[in-house]
Every structure is written in C-alpha cells, then in structure tokens.
C-alpha cells in the first residue's frame, strides 16, 4: 500500500497562480541512499512535492522505525531553480549571497497556519549547498514528522515578489510632436517627470519615474501604464483638456530587468525600460 509521508507546497507571489511550480526538489546523497534503501520516492503533483513509501499500511510506525534506526536526525532536499532569476524576482536583501533554508524547525506561529498546513518560514543562511543549481534546501527533521502524525503532513512555504521603482526612458525617433507627454494608468496615477536626460549612447531621452512608489514584479502585470500626449490647446483658458494616447500598455519589467542605485546614501532597486516612439 502506497502512503504519503509529507507534501511540500511552494508559493511565489511573482507567478499568476501563486504556485512556484518551476522549483524542483532533489535529495542530497545521504537522503537518496536512504530513499533507495527503504523504498521511498519523490513525486510531483500539481505544483507540490510529496515523499511516498510502500509502507503505507502503518506510516506512523514506519516513521518511528526510521527515527530509531537510520542514524540521522533529518533528511535533506535541494531546492533547484535558476539562481539569478530567483534573486531578481524575490524580495531578498540586495547584498544577499547565501541560500534559502526551509526547515521543519522553523515554523510560523499557529495563528498564521493555513488550515491543517504547517507553514514554514524561509530563512536566509550562509551558502552550504554544494549543488550548483540549488537556491537552498528543505530539511525535514524526522522527530518533527513524527510529532505531526507521521503521515500526510502538509508543509507550505511562500516567497514575496521583489518590488522596484519603475523608470521609463522615452526616445522619440519619429515625427510625432510630443508637446506635453505624460505616463499614467486608468486610475489617473501619474509618473513623475519628464526630465531631459542623455543616454550612455549619447541619445536624448525623456525620463519618467514612479518616484517613491514601488511595484512588484509579476508574471502577468496588473500595473499597466499608458503614454499620453496633452495637446497645446489644453492650456487655453476656455478649452477642455485634450489627451491623445500615444502608446497603450507600456512595457513592464521582467525578472532580470533590475538594477541597484544609491541616492542620499541609500540603495534602492529600480527597473529601467526604454520606449521608442
């Protein structure tokens, strides 16, 4: 009879459905040897990872047996994902160079648990994972597994999306006359600017910035802005404001499209996007 020892569900706010499907679990060498010896298998099912055994007729007794006989207090799995992408899209310290650790000994308070799930609190720890593709590790202490019933234990962990300031560089290579350009959304929220700047290639541009406002990176953006041009007649006392939409739906940043800048002694993350007219 097949039984499930535990399931790990990973969530990430960057993804539209909230599931961190792309992250893979891979056992380290001692854990893989234990799995082979005792007939354990990892299976992925709809974005979650589960550890299964053929000793499903009495899982608590099987976990008790493991606690007493295997000579190790925990089993460990690498969390595999593209490290650069994970750093870019996840709210992490700018100087972070370690790894993520999910441990059954680092659990959110009971009041923060969702349903019957055990909510794990991601820890930032020095890098020890020898596996080059690993962004961290998931450590399951057998005593914790036993304490939670020894079968079908549901663990969850969630990551926040990185937030950044947005900067648009508007380069006008057309004959369109932009008398008073503005960037805003449907809620009439405007970007600051524009400011005349010169790009590194010597080309002139107009710079718009979100200022102190931060926007999260998203797989499918919900923060969408448009480029408008307000005509000269808008400044006539008896005329109604006139706006023309020049570009509907300006580009939004991808995970790798972030940079760090220092102002007034403080570092901040920004996403620069070039828009050509």
**132 and 176 inside one domain:** no
Q: Are 165 and 210 in contact (CB under 8 A)?
A: yes
Confidence of residue 148 (pLDDT cuts 50, 70, 90): confident
**27 and 118 inside one domain:** yes
Q: Are 145 and 170 in contact (CB under 8 A)?
A: no
State how far the Cα of 139 lies from the Cα of 119, in Å rounded to an integer: 14
pLDDT at position 234, please? 47
Q: Are 73 and 30 in contact (CB under 8 A)?
A: no
- Using the predicted structure, report yes or no on whether residue 237 has a pLDDT greater than 60: no
**167 and 153 inside one domain:** no
**174 and 243 inside one domain:** yes
Torsion of Cα atoms, 200 then 203 then 205 then 207, to 10°:
0
**15 and 100 inside one domain:** yes
State how far the Cα of 212 lies from the Cα of 268, in Å rounded to an integer: 10
**11 and 137 inside one domain:** yes
**78 and 120 inside one domain:** yes
Q: What tokens appear for 15 in the block?
A: 């993804």
**257 and 272 inside one domain:** yes
Give the domain-ending residue among 159, 183, 204: 159
**143 and 207 inside one domain:** no
The DSSP bridge partners found for residue 245 are 228
**155 and 167 inside one domain:** no
Torsion of Cα atoms, 125 then 126 then 131 then 132, to 10°:
110
Mean per-residue pLDDT, 134-159: 88
- Share of residues in the chain with pLDDT > 90 (%): 52
pLDDT at position 192, please? 95
Q: From the centroid of its chain, how far is CA 220? A: 13
Give the domain-ending residue among 159, 180, 195: 159
| Tens-place pLDDT, residues 226-236 | 999 987 654 55
**111 and 186 inside one domain:** no
Task: Flag the least confident range among 11-20, 67-76, 187-196.
Answer: 67-76
Look at residues 202, 215, 212 and name the one whose alpha carbon lies nearest to residue 266: 212
pLDDT at position 179, please? 87
The DSSP bridge partners found for residue 167 are 209, 272
Q: Which domain holds residue 11?
A: 3-159
| Tens-place pLDDT, residues 18-75 | 999 999 999 999 999 999 988 889 999 877 999 998 876 777 888 888 888 877 888 9
Q: What angle do CA 98, 102, 104 make, to 5 degrees?
A: 145
User: Based on the structure, what is the number of domains in the chain?
Assistant: 2
Helix (H/G/I), strand (E/B), else coil: 276: strand
| Tens-place pLDDT, residues 257-272 | 888 887 777 778 899 9
| Tens-place pLDDT, residues 96-134 | 888 999 999 998 876 444 557 899 999 998 887 566 678
**200 and 155 inside one domain:** no
- Give the list of residues 6+ apart from residue 101 with CB closer than 8 angstroms, or none: 122, 123, 124, 125, 136, 137, 139
Give the domain-ending residue among 133, 159, 185: 159
- Share of residues in the chain with pLDDT > 70 (%): 92
- Using the predicted structure, report yes or no on whether residue 244 has a pLDDT greater than 80: yes
pLDDT at position 20, please? 94
Of 256 and 247, the structure prediction assigns the larger pLDDT to 247
State how far the Cα of 21 lies from the Cα of 26, in Å rounded to an integer: 14
């Amino acid at each position: 009879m097949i039984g499930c020892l535990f399931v790990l569900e990973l969530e990430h706010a960057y993804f539209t459905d909230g599931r961190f499907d792309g992250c893979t679990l891979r056992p380290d060498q001692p854990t893989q040897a234990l799995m082979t010896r005792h007939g354990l298998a990892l299976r992925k099912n709809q974005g979650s990872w589960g550890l299964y055994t053929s000793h499903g007729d009495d899982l608590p007794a099987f976990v008790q047996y493991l606690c007493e006989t295997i000579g190790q207090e925990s089993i460990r799995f690498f969390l595999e994902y593209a490290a650069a992408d994970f750093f870019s899209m996840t709210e992490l310290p700018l100087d972070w160079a370690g790894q993520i650790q999910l441990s059954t000994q680092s659990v959110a308070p009971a009041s923060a648990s969702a349903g019957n799930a055990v909510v794990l609190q991601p820890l930032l720890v020095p890098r020890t994972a020898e596996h080059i593709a690993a962004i961290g590790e998931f450590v399951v202490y057998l005593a914790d597994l036993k304490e939670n019933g020894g079968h079908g234990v549901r663990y969850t962990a969630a990551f926040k999306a990185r937030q950044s300031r947005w900067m648009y560089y508007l380069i006008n290579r057309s004959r369109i006359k932009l008398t008073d350009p503005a960037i805003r959304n449907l809620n009439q929220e405007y970007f600051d600017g524009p400011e005349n700047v010169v790009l590194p290639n010597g080309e002139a541009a107009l710079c718009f910035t979100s200022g102190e406002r931060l926007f999260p990176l998203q797989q499918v953006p919900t923060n969408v802005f448009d480029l408008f041009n307000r005509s000269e007649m808008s400044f006539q006392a008896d005329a109604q404001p006139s706006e023309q939409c020049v570009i509907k739906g300006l580009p939004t940043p991808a995970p790798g499209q972030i940079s760090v800048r220092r102002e007034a002694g403080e570092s901040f993350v920004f996403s620069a996007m070039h828009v050509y007219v």
